[in-house]
Amino acid sequence: MKRIMRRLKHVNGIARYSYYFFLVVYLISFLLFTINLINLSGIETVLRIILIVTFFFYFLFYILYGLLNLLTRKYKKYILISLVTLIFISIFNVSSYFIGTIYGGLSNIFEQDKELYTTYLIKLKDTKFNSEGQIGRIDNQDDTEGYVLTEKLIKKYKLKNEIVDYSDYDDMILNLYAGKIAAAFVPSNYLALFTELDENESIADKTTVIYKYQEKKKDSTGNKAISNKDFNDPLTFLIMGVDSTKNNLDPNAGFNGDTLMFIAFNPKTLDSLVLSIPRDTYVPITCNQNRYAKINSSAAFGSECVVNTVSSLLTTDIDYYVKVNFKGVVNLVDALDGIEVDVEAPTYGADQYNGQVCEQNSDREFGNKLVCIKPGHQTLNGEQALAYARNRHLYIGSDLDRVRHQQQIVEAVARKLLNFATVTDFKKIFNAISNNIATNMATDKILSGYEVVKDMTLKALNGQDFININKATLETYSLPVYRPATGGYTSAQGYYQDSLTDIQNTIKIYLGLQDQETIKTFSFSVNEPFVEHTAGKGLKQNPSLELMPNLIGSDISKAEEFCQKHNLTLNKEYVNPGEAHYNADVAPGLIGDQDARIGTLIKELTSLTIYIPNSGESNKNSSNNTSKEENKTETEEDCDEKNPDLGDVLNLF
Amino acid sequence: MKRKYRKILAGLILVTIILVAATLVIRIFFSGSKDTKVKVLDAVKNYDYVLEERDTALFKETYNHLKANLKSKDIDYTAYAADLAQLFIIDLFTIDNKLSKYDIGGLDYVYPDSQDNYKLNVENTLYKNVEVKDNKRNQDLPAVTSITIDNTEEMEYTIGEKTYPAYKETISWEYKEDFGYDNKAAVTLIKDQNKVYVVEYQTIEE
């Protein structure tokens, strides 16, 4: 060794130092390259090992052969081998850059364990806030932003105001608008969540922030959806739309619930089931004591609440969620150079835009920034795709049509994604995706999808079918629920239980949790085209929720029948002229009034009190009083708790 | 001289190693764990009927019989229809050689305008549970081993406003192992210009 070093000193200085330089640079580049390759766990393992071993042996070869040529003064050969080494160094650096970009991008979309929670105290603009005004707050003590942080804010700013408890954010905000409360505590995503409560003005324009309190902490609900599954097993995903006008997705961005899509994917059969859940579907919100509300309102309690609410509805575990920024849709579709979609013609107010589908742009701007699309099969750019996916006002089905259009967009994007051809395309697409989505799927789990994606890509390139996307449809019906807090009605959607059951069973089949009977017979005719079964579609029996009907003017027996059917206690009160609930428009002996308002959810009732106008005869009065007292004794507690008379409205829940 | 040869030899060895390594890399990258292509052994010119490497002996025998008929100057259309119906059944119900649920048997013999709907039908019925063919596939999938034409009836068949001469073949067949799949059916084929197509399949309960 000493002899070699001595002889090396006699070699041309430039050649000698360049030799050292290439050795060091090659070693560093090779190590970086190796680390990046190791990060790609599960991807082409044999190939990675071959590359690492080959380049390692080349390194040894360069040490020996380079040294030999230097010592024997064969500078031409030395230059040649050094050029080859330089090429390899470049390959290492370029590869490391791309692999690092991909891995970094994938790591970025993984939502961190600790999140930044924020609570805001807001008031209406042009109103004064002082210690005498009431502040509305959600009465759920598990809600970090709606309750837990509010206690800290109150303490920090030494607020002495009376706190009014609400079970529902919508009720609270509407009461704020109506001036019934002076201020309200709202979660960080309130701007997106309550934007449609007033059609004329957004919450951002109507309100202003008084105080704000922030804290970074681990998810406190204990409901974080963490799965150990990867793409070797059937998986479920919940796609949640985030309405952000920024180009990137804020890691703590609030989901506003316009897009809620459930996907079950089986990598063995390459089957996927896609279910869009209408945002107004009325369901028990799991993290709000299972109180019934529109499913999108679960977003106010965080992503985990949305996941758990949907999981409870579909009776299936949701392995991972994916938040998608709407702006990201624009970037992604443009990166794909557009997608092929058959745009449906408007079915409501078609004349408004001369038969076109028009919607605000991705920055929520109207006027000359409106995006308009003609109906028919065409290539949509990013803004057009987003506009089509968002629009509901021009379709009779409203949100139901909107979810169908969103599925069209998802399908079109999925098919186009597997046809990208160049590295440049891939980078654009990857950037569009990684900057605009967030998920709780860890990077190594995402990488496990490599084999599936590769298989699908190769099939697509060979012109074969590579994925089967099946849609499920949850049949719904209009459910105008009476809201005691506001005295108004909310336009919710109830679902048919038969439709939901069919979907639940289909999901289980896709996930391999339920055996699907193998079909061993077949029929085919060119004159009778086959119609594919869509899970849940057309099944409109057994509505999930019923509302209190109008019994006024009906016979008492109808109320008895109704209460027996719904297992409610019936209280009959006979009232005289001049007394409360007396209805002079109804004949004596018929139902003049009812305590439960028309449109109240029957599920939330345990009893019903009907008021029957008296004819004024004494014996009827005495028997009425007896029954009234009897009933009162039986149901006193219920009446006290559930009486929805004015003044007790806020105590209803 | 010796030195020159040594240099040439070293160069050749180096080039060979590089080529082998590159080939290995490309093969590994593109091979995947699932088959994506099927090798075609033979084709009947002008008819798009193919014989693939994976086809069974029964299929090959029937294919060769059909090919011989189609190559003759006077094509016997009755025999053509009978052979095509048999090929249709064998290909459709031999599922154990299919790559996935999307690798639909019998598709080449179906009336062209209905091929998409036929594909949708098979993917959602007979082939619905067929997994991707790899080392992990462990399903009871049938393979047809014998087939017989029980009856042939000449008739007419209408599609839309057009009527075609047609053949109704009553066929029965057997499997390597009986898993309960259809084993008797009526297959209707039409003759459109010089080609025959399958337009109907109706199972016959025994």
What is the pLDDT at residue A432? 76
Cα–Cα distance for residue pair A426/A432, rounded to 1 Å: 10
- Mean pLDDT in residue range A179-201: 78
- Mean pLDDT in residue range A284-303: 85
What is the pLDDT at residue A615? 73
Q: Which long-range contacts (CB under 8 A, 24 or more apart) does A19-27 make?
A: A19/A66, A19/A67, A19/A70, A19/A78, A19/A82, A22/A62, A22/A66, A22/A82, A22/A85, A22/A86, A22/A89, A23/A62, A23/A63, A23/A66, A25/A89, A26/A59, A26/A62, A26/A85, A26/A88, A26/A89, A26/A92, A27/A59
Q: b/e per residue, A282-294, with b = 16+ CB within 10 A?
A: bbbbbbbeebbbb
User: Is residue B49 included in any domain, yes or no?
Assistant: yes
What is the pLDDT at residue A648? 31
Contacts of B28 in chain A (CB under 8 A): 44, 46-47, 50
Closest by CA to A323, choosing from A225, A417, A399, A400, is: A225
Q: Is the pLDDT of residue A108 over 70?
A: yes
Specify the DSSP class assigned to residue A648: S
What is the pLDDT at residue A247? 60
What is the pLDDT at residue A620? 43
Please give the distance of CA A117 from its chain centroid, rounded to a whole number. 18
Residue A494's alpha-carbon distances to A292, A293, A301, B159, in angstroms, are: 11, 11, 22, 44
Question: Are the C-beta atoms of A270 and B134 separated by less than 8 Å?
Answer: no
Q: Which long-range contacts (CB under 8 A, 24 or more apart) does B71-75 make?
A: B71/B44, B75/B194
Q: Is the pLDDT of residue A643 over 50?
A: no
User: Is residue B170 included in any domain, yes or no?
Assistant: yes
What is the pLDDT at residue A461? 66
Cα–Cα distance for residue pair A471/A535, rounded to 1 Å: 7
> From the list B33, B111, B180, which residue is nearest A526 (CB)?
B111
User: Is residue B119 included in any domain, yes or no?
Assistant: yes
Q: Is the pLDDT of residue A233 over 90?
A: no
Percent of chain A with pLDDT over 90: 36
Cα–Cα distance for residue pair A266/A232, rounded to 1 Å: 9
Helices (H) and strands (E) in chain A, counts: 18, 23
| Fold category of A235-510 in CATH | Aminopeptidase (3.40.630)
What is the pLDDT at residue A197? 61
Contacts of B92 in chain A (CB under 8 A): 522
- Mean pLDDT in residue range A474-491: 86
Spell out the domain ranges in chain A: 2-108, 114-218, 235-510, 556-651
User: What's the whole-number average pLDDT of chain A?
Assistant: 82
What angle is formed at CA B50 by the lines to CA B48 and CA B51, rounded to 5 degrees? 170
Closest by CA to A453, choosing from A461, B119, A105, is: A461
What is the pLDDT at residue A645? 34
- Mean pLDDT in residue range A230-234: 85
What is the pLDDT at residue A68? 86
The residue to which tokens 């899509």 are assigned = A261
CA distance B66 to chain A (A): 23
CA dihedral (A217, A218, A224, A230) in degrees, to 10, reads 120
Q: Is the pLDDT of residue A223 over 50?
A: no
What is the pLDDT at residue A359? 87
User: Is residue B22 included in any domain, yes or no?
Assistant: no
Instruction: Give the lowest-confidence range in A141-155, A292-306, A371-385.
Output: A292-306
- Mean pLDDT in residue range A491-520: 91
Closest by CA to A446, choosing from A97, A47, A35, A107, is: A107
Q: What contacts A637, CB < 8 A, 6 or more positions away?
A: none
Check B32 against A451: CB less than 8 A apart.
yes
Q: What contacts B95, CB < 8 A, 6 or more positions away?
A: B105, B126, B127, B130, B141, B142, B143
pLDDT band at A391 (very low <50, low <70, confident <90, very high): confident
Cα–Cα distance for residue pair A361/A384, rounded to 1 Å: 8
pLDDT digits (tens, 9 = 90+) for A208-217: 999 999 987 6
Cα–Cα distance for residue pair A80/B176, rounded to 1 Å: 64
Question: Are the C-beta atoms of A175 and A486 separated by less than 8 Å?
Answer: yes
Instruction: Give the lowest-confidence range in A312-316, A321-325, B2-6.
Output: B2-6
- Mean pLDDT in residue range A127-132: 90
Categorise residue A553: left if φ over 0, alpha if ψ from -120 to 50, beta otherwise: left
CA distance A316 to chain B (A): 21
- Mean pLDDT in residue range A85-111: 84
Give the tokens for residue B36.
Answer: 């994506």
What is the pLDDT at residue A504? 96
Q: Is the pLDDT of residue A220 over 60?
A: no
What is the pLDDT at residue B112? 95
Check A520 against B182: CB less than 8 A apart.
yes
Check A521 against B181: CB less than 8 A apart.
yes
- For strand A235-242 and strand A320-325, is the pairing parallel, antiparallel, or unpaired? parallel
Check A455 against B199: CB less than 8 A apart.
no
User: Is residue B80 included in any domain, yes or no?
Assistant: yes
Residue B53's alpha-carbon distances to B50, B78, B94, B109, B110, in angstroms, are: 10, 28, 14, 18, 21
Stated as kind and residue range, the H or E segment containing B190 is strand B184-192
User: Is residue B172 included in any domain, yes or no?
Assistant: yes
What is the pLDDT at residue A196? 60
Q: Is B111 on the interface with A (CB under 8 A)?
A: yes
Specify the DSSP class assigned to residue A474: -
Cα–Cα distance for residue pair A213/A118, rounded to 1 Å: 6
Percent of chain A with pLDDT over 70: 85
Cα–Cα distance for residue pair B92/A494, rounded to 1 Å: 44
Closest by CA to A136, choosing from A159, A156, A115, is: A159
Q: Is A515 on the interface with B (CB under 8 A)?
A: no
The residues with which A535 forms a beta bridge, in sequence order, are A472
Question: Are the C-beta atoms of A390 and A258 separated by less than 8 Å?
Answer: yes
Query: If chain B, 206 residues long, is cut into consecutive pieces of 10 residues, what is the mean pLDDT of each piece?
Result: 69 75 69 62 89 93 94 93 97 93 92 94 90 80 95 95 96 94 96 95 90
Q: In A162-293, which residue ranges form alpha helices assigned H by DSSP?
A: 169-177, 190-193, 203-206
Check B33 against A44: CB less than 8 A apart.
no
What is the pLDDT at residue A105? 76
Check A522 against B122: CB less than 8 A apart.
yes
- Which residue type is seen at B3? R
pLDDT band at A250 (very low <50, low <70, confident <90, very high): low
Q: Is B24 on the interface with A (CB under 8 A)?
A: yes
Please give the distance of CA A525 from its chain centroid, rounded to a whole number. 42
Q: Which CATH class is domain A114-218?
A: alpha beta
Check B25 against A268: CB less than 8 A apart.
no
- Mean pLDDT in residue range A186-190: 85
Report the largest interatomic distance among the alpha carbons of chain A, rounded to a whole angstrom: 131
Q: What contacts A338, CB < 8 A, 6 or more positions away?
A: A379, A380, A381
pLDDT digits (tens, 9 = 90+) for A594-603: 999 999 999 8
Q: Is the pLDDT of residue A226 over 70?
A: no
> From the list A47, A465, A468, which residue is nearest B29 (CB)?
A47
Give the tokens for residue B40.
Answer: 């075609």
Q: b/e per residue, A611-638, with b = 16+ CB within 10 A?
A: bbbbeeeeeeeeebeeebeebeeebeeb
> From the list A44, A459, A519, which residue is nearest B28 (CB)?
A44
| Count: domains in chain B | 1
Q: A460: nearest CA in chain B?
A: B36
* Domain containing residue B197: 40-203
What is the pLDDT at residue A630? 38
User: Is residue B4 included in any domain, yes or no?
Assistant: no
Cα–Cα distance for residue pair A119/A190, rounded to 1 Å: 9
At residue A88, the 3 state secondary structure works out as helix
Cα–Cα distance for residue pair A197/A260, rounded to 1 Å: 19
Give percent helix, percent strand, percent coil of chain B, each to the nearest 5.
40, 30, 35
User: Is residue B91 included in any domain, yes or no?
Assistant: yes
Residue A557's alpha-carbon distances to A159, A572, A576, in angstroms, are: 54, 11, 21
